[in-house]
Amino acid sequence: SKYKEANETFGVEKYIPCIVHTINLIVTNTIEKCTTLNDIIVKIRKIVKYIKNSVNLSDELRKLQKDQGLPDGKILKLVLDVKTRWNSLLYMIERFLNIFRIISVIILDKSTAPDFVTAHELNTIREIKMLLQPFEDLTKKVSDDKFSIMTNILFELNKRFKDLEIFYNFPLSTLLDPRFKNLHFKDPTRCHTATEKIKNVLISKENSPNNDLNEPPAPAQSLSVSSELPPVPPSFDLWTYLEAVANVQISQRTTPMYQELYDYLAKPVIDIKTDPLYAWEEMKTMYPNLYIIAREKLSIIATSVPSERLFPKLVILYHKPVTD
């Protein structure tokens, strides 16, 4: 696959899994492992294909809804799922449940029609819809554990996301996201490891001769009230002078850079709806060196979709013929 090729080309340490693709695998693999559920879905899929492949049956579906008083804008069509998009399965189930009574009338007297679902299977589909809905709407939580599919979903979640805290960038990005910090790590050891990695980055930058962070290495002496102030320029400007005083204080600090990390983690998390990048702009003066690392790590996206859309456009642009 493309993911394996990228892994071989750029190395394992730079591999970042696509979250959307991972969720798709969780749902599809869970359904495949539940034979009873998969059989019901196959039955619904056959019914949907049977009607969609017939112009006459599709027209009959539309007419029966119109006879019930539905306006043109409210008439529903059947939805067929796509294997690579798990949410299309949810849409197919939802649409089928909305109009299954009309569908039953259409195929009742058709000798070539596939078998219709039973009342028990309809109840199962309703329950499955409730279980799949949280993957479509992430604000809801799955609470029903009556079906074996729930156990399979939990198994797939643990299997697919078990190494999420091992990947180099994910734990660092989580720590540097002021909405989460170290609150949601399942393994305290990995949280500590991620913290030490950020600390080591700050230490290495501080000790580097080409220090590109916002503080030079701390001198041996400590800052005191009697520290030397900058000379007053002939044309005095208050704000310029105050900025110069601040720079003198920064240059004489004895607190190591990595203390910024501990100060940052000690503060409460921000509101979940806040943009973390905007939040870091506001914290830039408080944690100037940590800010640089946060801007780098928080730019990582969770899905490969944007790049998949971008590269075909670049290919088209590259091969576009040049006209005079």
pLDDT (0 to 100) of residue 139: 33
What number is the average pLDDT over the span 7-21? Answer: 70
Residues 6+ apart with CB under 8 A from 24: 84, 85, 86
pTM (2 d.p.)? 0.47
Q: Which of 125-139, 144-158, 162-176, 268-282 has the lowest mean pLDDT?
A: 144-158
pLDDT (0 to 100) of residue 229: 55
The closest of 254, 66, 37 to 149, measured between CA atoms, is: 37
Residues 6+ apart with CB under 8 A from 295: 277, 280
- Paired with 85 in beta bridges are 82
For residues 166 and 291, the answer to whether their CB atoms sit within 8 Å is no
Which tens digit of pLDDT belongs to each residue from 82-129?
877 777 888 999 999 999 999 999 998 888 999 999 999 999 999 888
What number is the average pLDDT over the span 144-169? Answer: 70
- Paired with 82 in beta bridges are 85
What number is the average pLDDT over the span 31-56? Answer: 90
pLDDT (0 to 100) of residue 140: 39
Sign, CA dihedral 15-19-20-22, equals positive
The closest of 248, 244, 287 to 264, measured between CA atoms, is: 287
Question: Considering the chain, what is the average pLDDT of its residues?
Answer: 77
Which tens digit of pLDDT belongs to each residue from 65-74?
999 888 888 8
Cα-Cα-Cα-Cα dihedral of 174, 180, 181, 185, to 10°?
-70
For residues 89 and 27, the answer to whether their CB atoms sit within 8 Å is yes
Q: Answer yes or no: is pLDDT of 221 > 60.
A: no
Q: Answer yes or no: is pLDDT of 234 > 80.
A: no
Cα-Cα-Cα-Cα dihedral of 294, 300, 306, 310, to 10°?
80
What number is the average pLDDT over the span 182-194? Answer: 87
One-character DSSP codes across 9-61: HH-GGG----HHHHHHHHHHHHHHH-HHHHHHHHHHHHHHHHHHT-HHHHHHH
Q: Answer yes or no: is pLDDT of 46 > 90.
A: yes
**How much of the chain, in percent, has pLDDT values that exceed 90?**
28
Which tens digit of pLDDT belongs to each residue from 283-295?
999 999 999 999 9
Q: Answer yes or no: is pLDDT of 80 > 60.
A: yes
pLDDT (0 to 100) of residue 137: 65
- Domain chopping of the chain, boundaries: 18-161, 169-297
CA dist., res. 127 & res. 304, Å (int): 31
Surface-to-core class of residue 278, CB atoms within 10 Å of its CB (0-12 exposed, 13-18 middle, 19+ buried): exposed
CA dist., res. 276 & res. 238, Å (int): 33
What number is the average pLDDT over the span 246-265? Answer: 70
The closest of 76, 77, 98, 93 to 27, measured between CA atoms, is: 93
